[in-house]
Structure 1
């Protein structure tokens, strides 16, 4: 029988990896650990595998016809102006681009109102934001996936210590003597619910009632919610806003009601974005850029442990 040329499929089979993983390992591309690269290359050498010149050019991205690998940031947010109105998303893109650096990888951003069906041709990796748990699990079965924020069981995620941040905000208001405390919480997402839980844990511990309204992380909803809180208790002396954009709506409503900040009403936000610094807003800082960078690193090298939780820290400014 005529000797057959060793193929990439042969190398992948003997090495016990997928054909795509074998290609990446041989060509030194992202997406495989050093241990896997060494193993695959040793198998290739043992089998006498010689990459075809054209195939190698395709694999390494040195032909104009080759499409770059993509990392997609998939955002579920019904607000059509979300990318402009919410600094969080810009911070995510900044962190992701830092992690990608000069590698030949395209960063793609997609915002949708509701969770879409899984792509027939999914990108190399996906960072999911605000994706419902079942949908996250479906995406994870098709491509490398990591969520920003707790998601479905088994789906890797990276998130700030939201509950700890909510706890810090509440402790600050209580220990600085605020007694008639209101809150504009967030939508029914894991991150918002965790912030709410941490905040209420303090209030429950000191047997302090909290006037609250659920918001949606938009300024307009927070403005209306604050008006509602003031109507229910004109003597309100503190408001916790579940994100900095929410805090902007709170501050606007307080200003129009002639309530001085912080003399009459203290305000604490959550994010630690540039908005907080510009508005002299006390806010719980969360390291969004580090979260996004950790997510990208995990996509490019799944051998890295899932990032998990990153710490949050309250920065006290003039609003409280």
Structure 2
């Protein structure tokens, strides 16, 4: 059959026809199409020309068998779906990951892994290698994901420092401790001395590290650091924590909320109580993902480079998948900065 002949019934061209058109063996044509080695530049060019001439499209299933690749990456989020679809942290993370994957023609697979039984189901799913690698974000102390994924040998990168097995997996994080310190120093510089904080969940390293930085700065300044209420990184959780704090410590004149969503809840409670911000109580948040500019007053906050972290984590994972990364796990800690607005 010549290249100008129409195939019966309009059937798609086959790999054998590509090989014949290029003047190479079927095995050589397959390696050239699937990015394999041991293909000469001349043969590679001939196969590429044959593919264009015949309009050949590789069979994804056959390609997967040949390369042992699925061309997909999982994003694992051990959080309830209602939080994932309402928190700007997750939407920005997913957009940033997708942007990098799309540049490489790869598919994003979202796995919402509730803790407990569902987390075990996710691990069983990943053990079958349905994806080429996994990105994990918003993980918790009892997830055990770092060690389990390291045991599986599945390429993986964590967004945020995991609790355990930090020497077995790669991760990208912001300098959370420095961020907590910046928040404390911003309030201290404004002359506030009766300070309180609304932390994130105690089983997350981001919350623990921000609290560590906060306490260190207050300790150095000789200011009490025991006015603490635990939130859940949501606006409702911040509101509940603020009510608890202000009931116990009505004389508070400065609050650090460990996320901007919780800070919005704090501002709501202060407004209800008739406490002016920043005149009576100064407030600092953490994230700077857009919402800080829409609160009343606008929110002073610690910038969290979520997009940059997600993109870097994705590139690190792709290097792992391609066998291009270093032999040992990589750890990247990105700097942060204070963004001053009206609330402090």
CA contact (8 A) 2:32 2:39 kept: no
Closer, same or farther in 2 for the Cα pair 1:25/1:252, shift >3 Å? farther
- Which position in structure 2 is the counterpart of 1:273? 289
Deviations 1:53-110 (A, max 9, x none): 9xxx9xx983365675211110112x44112321110111121122123332111112
> Would the aligned equivalents of 2:303 and 2:337 in 1 still touch at CA under 8 Å?
yes
For residues 24 and 176 of structure 1, what CA distance do their matches in structure 2 show?
66
1:184 maps to 2:205: no
- Shifted more, 135-144 versus 206-215: the winner is 135-144
Match of 2:179 in 1: 165
TM-score, length-normalised on structure 2?
A: 0.74
| Partner Cα separation in structure 1 for residue 186 and residue 57 of structure 2 | 53
Larger radius of gyration: 2
Q: Which runs of 5 or more structure 2 residues have no equivalent in the other structure?
A: 1-29, 65-69
Selected match of 1:194 from 209, 212, 215: 209
The RMSD of aligned alpha carbons is: 2.6
User: Larger RCO: Structure 1 or Structure 2 (Cα < 8 Å, ≥ 6 residues apart)?
Assistant: 1
Q: 1:146 aligns to what?
A: 157
- Pick the aligned partner of 1:228 from 234, 244, 252: 244
Which blocks of at least 5 consecutive residues in structure 1 are unaligned? 1-22, 29-39
The alignment status of 1:319 with 2:343, answered yes or no, reads yes
In the alignment of these two chains, the number of paired residues is 275
- Name the CA distance, whole Å, in 2 between partners of 1:103 and 1:65: 19
Q: Distance in 2 between matches of 1:181 and 1:90?
A: 32
Q: Which runs of 4+ in 1 moved over 6 A?
A: 23-26
- Give the alignment's TM-score, normalised by structure 1: 0.79
User: Aligned with 1:168: secondary structure?
Assistant: helix
1:296 lines up with 2:306 in the alignment: no
Mapped contact 1:129–1:147 kept (Cα < 8 A): yes
Distance in 1, matches of 2:221 and 2:293, equals 30
64 and 138 in structure 1: CA distance in 2 versus 1, 3 angstrom threshold: closer
